[in-house]
Amino acid sequence: MLQQKSVPRYGFARSWLVVIINSTESASEELKDNTWNQTVPQRNTKLHHSLALPAQLPSGADLPSCTECTDGESQFRIINLPRNPSRPIDFWSPCSCGYQSLQSCGSTVLADGRLADLIRRVAIFGMALMKLDVRQESGRHTETLDAVTSYLDLGVYSEWDEEKKLDFLTKELKGKRPLIPPNIEVAADVKEVLDTFKVAAELGSDSLGAYVISMASNASDVLAVELLQKDARLTVSGDLGRPCPGGTLRVVPLFETVKDLQEAGSAIRKLLSIDWYRDHIIKNHNGHQEVMVGYSDSGKDAGRFTAAWELYKAQEDVVAACNEFGIKVTLFHGRGGSIGRGGGPTYLAIQSQPPGSVTGTLRSTEQGEMVQAKFGLPQTAVRQLEIYTTAVLLATLRPPHPPRDPNWRHLMEDISRVSCAHYRRTVYEDPEFITYFQEATPQAELGFLNIGSRPAKRKPSGGISSLRAIPWVFAWTQTRLVLPAWLGVGAGLQSAMDAGHGEELRAMYDEWPFFQSTVDLIEMVTAKADAPTAARYEEMLVAAPGRRRAVGGELRRELARTVRCVLAVSGHSKLTAHNRSLRRLIQSRLAYLNPMNMLQVEVLRRLRQDDDNRKLRDVLLITINGIAAGMRNTG
């Protein structure tokens, strides 16, 4: 995914560079396999005609023509000439003719070998190695439309209410003229957004997949992108009747915060109730709407348990909204590598989705370190493909059970409310917590590492609310307290058991896949946690004794309570008792993790007294990578 503005130096030009490399690599791979016709003794008239070859050329001349087609694709991406690149059909058609030619002259071994593989690859992947998504925050689009409406003396777009925004956007989308003047003078940030849309219009859907709107909250966020896309199409093609090469990108709203998740269904209903948008989806995207849900920010906002429940309900509501309008939906899961950011076993995660939310299609992100772990070797990559395919097929043909008893949903609401209140009271309302977090974890030192696609903070200043989810989770993982994955869970479950719902919780665990998956993931992550190691970080790094160190003691007691409650609900005698292989795996890593943690905490202590020491920095980075590998995730 191309995260716009993640590295300010690069901006929209980075999109060009990535796609250039992507298409060149794809063309190179196709050229490697394009050797099937060099030794064929017979000619095929249809093949020569399709390639516009002179009649006197031998059959071996078919190869250069295909090579020119592939090379032309690379040339287009590199120097932007010509503007009509080779389409997949332009490459696929002569290959198909060649396949038939080989079959007709008895060369079935050549036809069914690398040529057949090449035809399949072009048919599936097109002329790009893979399609890349573009992602941008909704606020940047609002800022851009602010600049445009102010320039045109139409008012300030961001100050309008939702209905006025929708009326304006819909009217402009129905029109046949561009909204944005070609000579408009705007700030650098706004120009970057406009240039990004122009680049996307040039590249089209042959190279780019979706335009993801992060921090989406309203229907107007989607229509704003559609309008900016329309204007870019007009700029590139010069005529509304002549679409840009490859077509337009599908627009995918990403609902991330708890508040936005709660309103996701309403936003999609409002969007699909607009005739223009519904017709656009049916005509240009085969009646298919994609919606992304984010696991990271919701977990940081309200804790893992509340985030899981709100995500479950949001998916139910989005699916229901699309069904009301007869629109197919694909849910795109923005998961991280850790439990605190929605990570976990793939099969278990898919099988615990709401009934009807997986209907033959599903998208999910895989974070950098998990890509290497899951797809780094051909054997593991095939295994992951099998897991995804099996889970999606089963969830489609045999959907998971909904909660058997309607009271279970009410109980989940009660647990979620208590869990969220406890989490927010600890993280956001305790004045000592932020300082404790900064001192007891390597949060500040993570800036030495080149991790993540975005800056550590959304804003240069601010507390936990401005911190991005990756460093938030990563810092706690390093100390092995892994707090974001379990904080609040113990309080919520304890309140339910104190109210006499113990047996009901055990029934929910046995009969409701979603609840069982949630509890099992929390059990797994608490098995990885190590309170004594976390206490060592506090002892060595937290300056003030008093109240600040008391925060650490409260957190470790809360971890112990969470373990007790999880075991009471699952009925297990000890953590991961039902999964011996996982328990052995965790135990086997302790011999390596414990020394690295002891080394890291000492290096942190010294580095905070001598922050320019390059040797200490190098050692710290080694321990950070080692602990992340041992814990099997970063953020």
Instruction: Give 99: exposed, middle or buried? Use CB within 10 Å, 0-12, 13-18, 19+.
Output: buried
Q: How far apart are CA 141 and CA 147, in angstroms?
A: 10
Identify the CA nearest to 211 among candidates 192, 198, 197, 195.
197
Choose, from 300, 313, 374, 528, the residue flagged as catalytic. Answer: 300
Instruction: Give 471: exposed, middle or buried? Use CB within 10 Å, 0-12, 13-18, 19+.
Output: buried
A 10 A CB-CB count for 369 gives 18
Buried b (16+ CB within 10 A) or exposed e, 512-544: bbbbbbbbbbbbbbbbbbbbebbbbbbeebbee
* HSE toward the beta carbon, residue 41, CA cutoff 13 A: 3
Give 376's contacts (C-beta < 8 A, 6+ positions apart): none
Residue type, position 282, single letter: I
Q: Look up residue 324 and give its two tokens.
A: 């009301």
Query: What are the phi and psi torsion angles at 364 (to 5°)?
Result: -150, 140
Residue 251: in which H helix or E strand, if any? strand 250-255
**Neighbouring-strand partners of residue 214:** 137
Transcribe 485-517 into DSSP letters. Answer: GTTTHHHHHHHHHHTT-HHHHHHHHHH-HHHHH
Verify whether residue 300 is a known catalytic residue. yes
Q: How far apart are CA 204 and CA 243, in angstroms?
A: 10
Identify the CA nearest to 168 among candidates 274, 279, 240, 272.
274
According to DSSP, residue 608 is labeled T
Q: How far apart are CA 616 and CA 621, in angstroms?
A: 9
Identify the CA nearest to 359 among candidates 399, 320, 389, 388.
399
According to DSSP, residue 401 is labeled P
Transcribe 64-113 into DSSP letters. Answer: HHHHHHHHHHHHHHHH--SSSPPPHHHHHHHHHHHHHHHHHTT-HHHIII
A 10 A CB-CB count for 354 gives 23
- Apex CA 365: angle with CA 359 and CA 367, to 5°? 155
Give 271's contacts (C-beta < 8 A, 6+ positions apart): 219, 222, 223, 277
Active site residues: 300
